[in-house]
């Protein structure tokens, strides 16, 4: 007698309805590769709602939030096995009176998760961000030893879900040449090196800090499973250079599975039916894979 295996249900939120989110969400939900591994469910505003493509608005920001809220509620209730999100617009969120800078901090709030982190997953490179949407001038102040240790611990705990039983981590330096023993900046000596040493004492496989201009090359060549970057662009430039459209944004530290695209709302091409759904497809496939494990 054959056994029928039920495919996981994956919620796909359409993101900002004035951007390309609704288009790539529909295309991903209809993709044969997606339908082979899961039952996609679209979450977004009513079909009767009208949003002008490419136009920033508070109403669109609120609609994006409402879809995320509904998907998280259903994931926590077990109605869906995972969430894959299309991009939101941070300024639209702000105009709607929402204080969150994006999905990561919003999802942490909605699920009551004390520590979350943004990871970009791709075949050639996996990168975790210690700080996310932070002005560069503020990174050094925010990048404390406590924050780094919590991020390292989170990576060691979460990455085995992605097939890395004992992940080999590397920490990128903040300053050029990883500070050159204090000559080019004190953060490595004062904060980064102590965080790495403390994590190693807890049995975590992590090395660094290494110069940011070489550590990602070393990871791609197989020396490390993932790199922890100190700030947003330090980590996202290499992963998007190597795998734009094929990398997936994953939130670590949540009690639910959440993946997303590696790009923004692309207001300039919204409503033209030319948006590439590749990253959205990859996000749903990864969500389904994680849900099945």
Task: Tell me the C-alpha distance between 178 and 170, whole Å.
Answer: 12
Per-residue pLDDT for 223 more than 80? yes
In CATH terms, the fold of domain 117-247 is Isopropylmalate Dehydrogenase (3.40.718)
Q: How confident is the model at residue 6 (pLDDT cuts 50, 70, 90)?
A: confident
Let me know: does 17 contact 63? Beta carbons within 8 Å: yes
Tell me how far CA of residue 262 lies from CA of 48, 107, 112, in angstroms. 29, 17, 25
- Residues of the chain within CATH 3.40.718.10 domain(s) are 1-113+254-293, 117-247
For the domain bounded by 1-113+254-293, which CATH number is listed?
Answer: 3.40.718.10
Enter the DSSP assignment of 16. Answer: -
Enter the DSSP assignment of 159. Answer: G
Task: Tell me the C-alpha distance between 167 and 163, whole Å.
Answer: 9
292 Cβ neighbours under 8 A, 6+ residues apart? 8, 37
Task: Tell me the C-alpha distance between 205 and 226, whole Å.
Answer: 11
Strand order in the sheet with 226-229: 39-43, 9-13, 82-85, 258-260, 248-252, 117-121, 126-129, 226-229, 169-172, 206-210
Per-residue pLDDT for 1 more than 50? no
Per-residue pLDDT for 175 more than 70? yes
pLDDT given at position 293: 80
H helix runs in the chain, sequence order: 21-30, 32-37, 58-76, 90-95, 103-111, 136-142, 145-158, 187, 193-201, 215-220, 232-243, 278-292
Q: How confident is the model at residue 76 (pLDDT cuts 50, 70, 90)?
A: very high
Q: How confident is the model at residue 5 (pLDDT cuts 50, 70, 90)?
A: low
Sign of torsion, CA 225 28 275 53? negative
Q: How confident is the model at residue 187 (pLDDT cuts 50, 70, 90)?
A: very high
* Segment 91-120, tens digit of pLDDT: 999 999 999 988 999 999 999 999 999 999
pLDDT given at position 25: 98
Q: Which two tokens stand for residue 236?
A: 């996202």
pLDDT given at position 47: 87
- Which is nearest to 42 in space by CA: 57, 25, 54? 25
* Segment 197-206, tens digit of pLDDT: 999 999 999 9
263 Cβ neighbours under 8 A, 6+ residues apart? 87, 244, 245, 279
């Amino acid at each position: 007698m054959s056994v029928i295996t039920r495919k996981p249900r994956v919620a796909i939120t359409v993101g900002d309805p004035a951007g390309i989110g609704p288009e790539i969400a529909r295309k991903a939900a209809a993709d044969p590769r997606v339908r082979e591994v899961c039952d996609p469910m679209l979450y977004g505003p009513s079909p009767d709602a009208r949003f002008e493509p490419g136009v920033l608005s508070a109403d669109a920001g609120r609609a994006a939030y409402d879809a995320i809220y509904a998907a998280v509620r259903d994931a926590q209730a077990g109605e869906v096995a995972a969430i894959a999100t299309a991009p939101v617009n941070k300024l639209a969120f702000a105009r709607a009176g929402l204080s969150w800078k994006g999905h990561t901090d919003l999802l942490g709030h909605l699920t009551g998760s004390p520590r979350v982190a943004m990871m970009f997953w791709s075949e050639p490179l996996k990168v975790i961000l210690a700080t996310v949407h932070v002005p560069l001038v503020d990174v050094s102040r925010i990048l404390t030893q406590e924050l780094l240790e919590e991020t390292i611990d989170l990576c060691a705990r979460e990455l085995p879900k992605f097939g890395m039983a004992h992940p080999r981590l590397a920490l990128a330096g903040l300053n050029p040449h990883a500070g050159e023993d204090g000559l080019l900046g004190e953060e490595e000596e004062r904060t980064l090196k102590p965080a790495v040493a403390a994590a190693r004492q807890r049995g975590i496989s992590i090395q660094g800090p290494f110069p940011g201009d070489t550590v990602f090359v070393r990871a791609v060549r197989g020396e490390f499973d993932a790199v922890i970057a100190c700030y947003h662009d330090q980590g996202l430039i290499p992963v998007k250079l190597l795998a734009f459209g094929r990398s997936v944004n994953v939130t670590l530290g949540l009690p639910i599975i959440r993946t997303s695209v590696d790009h923004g709302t692309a207001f300039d091409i919204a409503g033209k039916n030319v948006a590439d759904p590749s990253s959205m497809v990859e996000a749903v496939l990864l969500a389904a894979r994680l849900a099945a494990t």
